[in-house]
Amino acid sequence: MKLLRYGPPGQEKPGTLDRNGNIRDLSGEVTDIAGDTLLPAGLDRLRAIDVESLPLVSGSPRLGPCAAGTGKFICIGLNYSDHAAETNATVPPEPIIFMKATSAIVGPNDTIEIPRGSEKTDWEVELGVVIGKTAKYVSEADALEHVAGYCLINDVSERAFQAERQGQWTKGKSCDTFGPIGPWLVTRDEIPDPQKLAMKLEVNGRSFQNGSTTTMVYSVAYLVSYLSQFMSLHPGDIISTGTPPGVGLGQKPNIFLKPGDVITLSIEGLGSQRQDVVQG
């Protein structure tokens, strides 16, 4: 299934895509794509519904973040060997973990705002993992059973805030609009191997990132298991699993976002995003 949320910010309704790519309204079946809806039993109940019988949503409504009720937005740093190389960084012996504020979350095609004082706002196409069942001390072998599905994420980053302003990476990752998520949550059964997905990102039509999840250092299953040793993961929590090479920081000379830029990105099987860049 491809689950989504549509409508104005803060007023999104739950929906799904039918076989023809049309949006069907799920608000008569569930209150949101969150909480119990993401549990295995909740997803099974949605699978049993005749999608074609659901109300058809007309027009082209705004798409919101594909999951709601996200308590934790966890990111993994330097998780692609080729990305680590382009930034002259060493592949970490254990996953680097940092948090992105949930207030950064926006829809997949919402505007990205360059924060005041920014010098180095950058892009990162990433595979997102949406937790569907509470995970605590789970094994790597059982980890994927706790995943509801996958989504596309642009882990927008302000490199000066991240690396030159002291402290942890969070301040360079958490600015408003720095977490476009969606367009939809693709349930785990439709992505048999999350480690074999092509990833692309362009700025103003120029290709910068053209990679694959095959070069991830730590797999999705490993990351879910690893994180669950330090904290419980709950339905709706999101893990952003790292980016392949081609970020602005890796260009020679560096290239960073400016007002008027247009970002487009996609991951195989997970849809695409488009964002206009404006000054915040």
Share of the chain above pLDDT 70, in %: 100
Task: Say what the pLDDT of residue 143 is.
Answer: 98
To the nearest whole number, what is the mean pLDDT of the chain?
Answer: 95
User: Which CATH number is 73-279's, of 3.90.850.10, 3.40.1390.10, 3.40.50.2300, 3.40.50.11540?
Assistant: 3.90.850.10
- The closest of 123, 135, 145, 93 to 240, measured between CA atoms, is 123
Q: Residue range 45-61: average pLDDT?
A: 96
Task: Say what the pLDDT of residue 223 is.
Answer: 98
- Tokens 């095959």 — which residue? 214
| Per-residue burial over 92-101, b = 16 or more CB atoms within 10 Å of its CB, e = otherwise | eeebebbebe
What CA–CA distances, in Å, run from 204 to 9, 243, 254?
A: 26, 19, 16
Supply the Cα-derived Rg of the chain in whole angstroms: 18
Domain boundaries, the chain: 2-53, 73-279
Render pLDDT for 136-157 as a digit per residue (tens, 0 to 9).
999 999 999 999 999 999 999 9
- 0.85 cut: is pTM over it? yes
Task: Say what the pLDDT of residue 141 is.
Answer: 98
Structure tokens at 14: 């739950």
Residue 115 pLDDT level (bands cut at 50, 70, 90):
very high
- Tokens 């999101």 — which residue? 238
Residue 110 pLDDT level (bands cut at 50, 70, 90):
very high
Task: Say what the pLDDT of residue 162 is.
Answer: 86
